[in-house]
Structure 1
Amino acid sequence: MSCKKFLDVEPKDFLPPSYYYQTEEQLLYSLAGVYDPLGSLDLYGRHYISRVGIEADEGFYNTSAVVSGPQVYNFTSSDTYVSGFWRELYMGINRANTLLANVDNNLKVNEAIRLQIRGEALFLRGYYYFLLAQNFGAVPLVLQPASSPDDTDIARSPLKEVYEQVLSDMKSAEALVAPIKTFGFGGRVNKSAVRGVLSRVCLYMAGYPLKDLSKYQEASAWAKKVIDDGEAGHMLNPDYTQIFINYAQDKYDIKESIFEVEFWGNGADGFSETGSVGAWIGIYSSNNDIIGNAFGFLNATAKLYRSFEASDVRRDCVVATYIYSATGTKTYYTSTTEASLYTRRVGKYRREWELVFPKSNNATPTNFPLLRFADVLLMYAEAENEVHNGPTTAAVDALNLVRARAHASLFTGANSLTNKTDFFNALVDERSRELCFEALRKPDLIRWGLFIPTMKGTETKMAKDIPGSFYALAYKNVAEKHLLYPIPSRELSLNPALNQNPNW
């Protein structure tokens, strides 16, 4: 009975790669799998935007019940949020590797489609490695799909090598992906997104710890490509608050919002993909019928609130001006004492803006921004200041565009910025005001070499403003080792070629 005449030697319980990736539909299914980690709970769906990647001087985790975890800088290499973050990123990388290895299995599939899919997969692989490099430093560089569960002994590649791979993937992708107008929305990798993120990657390479100052020139050039792209026609939305209303309502403004993580639905069926934007990071609410339940785990700091001019319309968008009652009505804050300012929640993600009903506890359809045109303008201004050892007219103009939209005073005339250091300091503050709670502040401070002194300065201010408050826990606990996350202990046990980050 073991004769080949009777025995079917082809396995039927899975599809080997040689059998799959044969149609455009199958390629797009696989590409969706590469995108999927972006919206997972451990990335932008929940934890990276509320517990792992956002702890800095702009806001803090506001519950006294939490005395351990990344959100208060008291955790170990066994922390589930950190290990989940690592796992999701490598899952995305392996899916990208598998798709890239098989995208040309059937050359009869339209070549333009295959090239575009290849470009998107390359960018996403590069983006996942970028997040790993930012948060863990040197990591194993895996560029082929996993072929065996025994292939686990992979050492960490030098950080510069990881970043060079990120650049290589993204530069290859830039020539392959479609312009943003082809899609009409920011949820898919497009040419503007690739160019803007390339500018970001170059700025991080120019800063701590690589300090490759030559990358400032590249950062400027990539940002300028986005700014000068007349076909895409990028410009600032004239209404800052409307940007975040759009994210809550699945409305797309591709001139401002270049790349975003998409969520939709209310979790009531198997075809929606919800996140926690607005629920975990937003204004607290116990009214699910009108507002939508929201934990509101993050509060803004008095430092952030005070950094805005009174005329700056961004302040009352990003720092909540009211709280909700149990019936959903609003009670507005009247006190602006330093102590009272620490009680205000993050305001730029609000469940009241959602259009999906019934509303679900914890599950929201609000998208999360990964790249906005305002960020591109500020990156360009920063890079120009470094390249020319002082602000150029173009750099000042870019900064002033962002401030003009906010109704803030402009750097002109007697208020001009001509000194490199003064311009840099202005940019440090402007990026906080414009981009707060978009998971950029902490890595920005690290690359500038300002993270520890800024966090400790915030601790000092909080100790003065609200003595003895548990709010200051994260600022008290932060130390040099927190410039990087630890390599997860589970990965160390599975991969003996790995070594741990310093002081962990």
Structure 2
Amino acid sequence: MKKLSVIILMISSLGFYVGCSDFLEPENQEELTTESFWLNEEHAKQGIIATYAPLQAFDGSKWTFFEEMYISLHWKSDDILPANTGYGNGIKSFTNGTDDVTFTSFWRSHYTGIFHANQVLTFVPGIENIDESVRDGILGEAHFLRAYYHFALLNVFKNIPLITKLPENDDDFKPTQATPEAVWAQIQSDLEEAERLLPDENDPGRVINTTATAYLGKIFLFQERFSDAIAKFEAVIASNKYDLVAAYEDNFTGLNENNEESIFEIQWSQDRSNGNDERHPFDFEVTPEALGGWELYYPSEWLVSEMMTDVTSDGDPSDRVFGSIFFDHPQSEMKRTRNGGMASYDEVRDNLLNPTYFKKYANDTDDGFYTGNNISLMRYADLLLMHAEALNENGRNSEALDFVNQVRARSNAEALGAMSQADLRQQIRHHERPVELSMEYTIRWFDLYRWSKSSTAPEPISTVLTNHQQPFAENFVDGKHEIFPIPFFDISRNENLEQNPGY
């Protein structure tokens, strides 16, 4: 998403609000101020686009996004096996302290997004030269994005400040933490307001009313409010705005972005004009050295074993297996970096350093160097599986199975027969969701975290990691490592913040 040079009320890109004295500088007459900005419809549009931007990272860097924000969550999960490269060692071994750059960047980026959303919600209502429907849509987007950023922070740090206004005095720069219940309530309120204000259609990549409805379903599922979740998921399904794309792999090639399966995705492009660099390095990070990549991480052995059971009626691997991993099979192929064409597994097997690789997002789309592929945050397949989970937990497992089989059918995976509630729960948790959604940003770790604190069927993460034979599982401390510490950068500057247990 194209970055905009929007200079507004205060700077939040240093992480969290730290103190206004740090920003006292002589006035620069060439910079925009709150008196010269927020005057018309174009300013409002620029302000909301700036609110989307921290989805990539607070500083707009492709390296911050992948090598810090992405790593912070996925290195802890059970579907990924990090290579021995030195990246995120403390994260993957559960030995990190409080000042690791990975989760610190996650914190900084999401609070930067909240700050921008609060600016839009503060100043856009006062703009006179703006069409009312445009104003409502922009305010709806700001409510949605503020909800999303708080939702992500809540599931990564749990005990977080709830920020719903711009700071007005020194005390506002040192907020206290809210209860998780208060944060959930605000997220719901923001999403409901977004659902009311957002239009039915919008520019590609910008949210619409059913995006808010889908996320209401998701937050209800995370709170185990299964009937409420079902109602929202049903509303999204009934809207007929979404469908599964015919070819599973089309969600990740960069050639069919914002398609009918997309509910919300982070926008990237190949734009490098005016100092921008709208690319990320996923193609190099996942691709084997034998095909010109860096192979920073691999699918875990457990995930591969699950994928090998995801078969068609003829016993062949399903389409989603071929679309997710590069593995020892005559039909498995992967793209060489730098526009080198496709290579079969058999061609390079003798030069591979690992037996299996991810291939999602591996297509470089910028003349062979890095990629502008969008990163999915919620796909329709994800929603259907969440709907199935909510139905199953509500005692409607035969209906739930129909939605699971709908997702499986798209990839020609053999249909599942009748299952008990407990068996279908395990099937959804530890086969359908990881096989369909492997390595997709935030999804697996958020799933593991919410199931670990479930009131209906809890699964300690230490047990899951041990059962799935993840390295360093023995280091995981239940009650500590489910969440990250409050970053040292912020807690050292704000005496009102309390550190999370165990850190």
TM-score range (shorter-chain normalised) is: 0.7 to 0.9
Of residues 43-52 and 94-103 in structure 1, the stretch that sits farther from structure 2 once superposed is 43-52
Q: Establish whether residue 39 from structure 1 lines up as the match of residue 56 from structure 2.
A: yes
Q: Deviations over 1:363-418 (max 9, x none)?
A: 4211100111101111111111122x24143x22211100111211212xxx212x
Specify which of 164, 169, 185 is matched with residue 143 of structure 1: 164
* Alignment correspondent of 1:3: none
Describe the shift of the 1:500–1:326 C-alpha distance in structure 2 as closer, same or farther (beyond 3 A): closer
Q: Establish whether residue 190 from structure 1 lines up as the match of residue 195 from structure 2.
A: no
Mapped contact 1:54–1:441 kept (Cα < 8 A): no
* Alignment correspondent of 1:430: 432
Mapped contact 2:409–2:415 kept (Cα < 8 A): yes
Specify which of 408, 412, 435 is matched with residue 413 of structure 2: 408
Specify which of 445, 449, 452 is matched with residue 446 of structure 1: 449
Matched residue SS, 1:294: coil
Specify which of 287, 290, 312 is matched with residue 283 of structure 1: 287
1-structure distance, mates of 2:219, 2:32: 37
1-structure distance, mates of 2:74, 2:84: 17
1-structure distance, mates of 2:277, 2:120: 24
* Alignment correspondent of 2:233: 223
Matched residue type, 1:380: H
Q: Deviations over 1:434-470 (max 9, x none)?
A: 11111311110121123221111223xx6xxxxxxxx
Deviation at 1:129, TM superposition (A): 0.2
Q: CA RMSD in A?
A: 2.8
Alignment of structure 1 residues 166-177 onto 2, 5 Å:
166-177=187-198
2-structure distance, mates of 1:279, 1:178: 37
Alignment of structure 1 residues 6-405 onto 2, 5 Å:
12=29, 14-40=31-57, 41=61, 44=65, 46-53=67-74, 55-66=76-87, 68-148=89-169, 151-180=172-201, 182-183=202-203, 185=204, 187-206=205-224, 215-230=225-240, 232=241, 234-245=242-253, 248-249=254-255, 251-265=256-270, 267=272, 270-280=275-285, 282-285=286-289, 294-308=293-307, 309-311=310-312, 312-321=318-327, 328=340, 330=343, 332=345, 343-351=355-363, 354-357=364-367, 359-360=368-369, 363-387=370-394, 389-393=395-399, 395-405=400-410
Mapped contact 1:260–1:371 kept (Cα < 8 A): yes
2-structure distance, mates of 1:285, 1:28: 43
What TM-score comes out, normalization by structure 1 length? 0.82
Matched residue type, 1:431: R
Q: Deviations over 1:226-264 (max 9, x none)?
A: 11103x2x211121112212xx23x33532112111111
Q: Deviations over 1:201-236 (max 9, x none)?
A: 111122xxxxxxxx1111111111111103x2x211
Deviation at 1:89, TM superposition (A): 0.9
1-structure distance, mates of 2:293, 2:366: 15
Of residues 377-386 and 42-51 in structure 1, the stretch that sits farther from structure 2 once superposed is 42-51
- Aligned residue-pair number: 448
Of residues 271-280 and 326-335 in structure 1, the stretch that sits farther from structure 2 once superposed is 326-335
1-structure distance, mates of 2:218, 2:464: 21
Matched residue SS, 1:274: coil
Matched residue SS, 2:326: coil
Q: Deviations over 1:94-117 (max 9, x none)?
A: 111111100022233111111100
The alignment-based identity, stated in percent, is 26
Describe the shift of the 1:366–1:149 C-alpha distance in structure 2 as closer, same or farther (beyond 3 A): farther
Deviation at 1:71, TM superposition (A): 3.4
What TM-score comes out, normalization by structure 2 length? 0.82
* Alignment correspondent of 2:495: 496
Mapped contact 2:40–2:128 kept (Cα < 8 A): no
Mapped contact 2:299–2:358 kept (Cα < 8 A): yes
Mapped contact 2:249–2:323 kept (Cα < 8 A): yes
Mapped contact 2:485–2:499 kept (Cα < 8 A): yes
Mapped contact 2:74–2:439 kept (Cα < 8 A): no
Matched residue type, 2:412: H
Describe the shift of the 1:253–1:116 C-alpha distance in structure 2 as closer, same or farther (beyond 3 A): closer
* Alignment correspondent of 1:477: 475
Mapped contact 1:200–1:219 kept (Cα < 8 A): yes
Deviation at 1:267, TM superposition (A): 4.0
2-structure distance, mates of 1:265, 1:196: 29
* Alignment correspondent of 1:468: none
Matched residue type, 2:322: D
Deviation at 1:310, TM superposition (A): 3.5
Describe the shift of the 1:364–1:355 C-alpha distance in structure 2 as closer, same or farther (beyond 3 A): closer
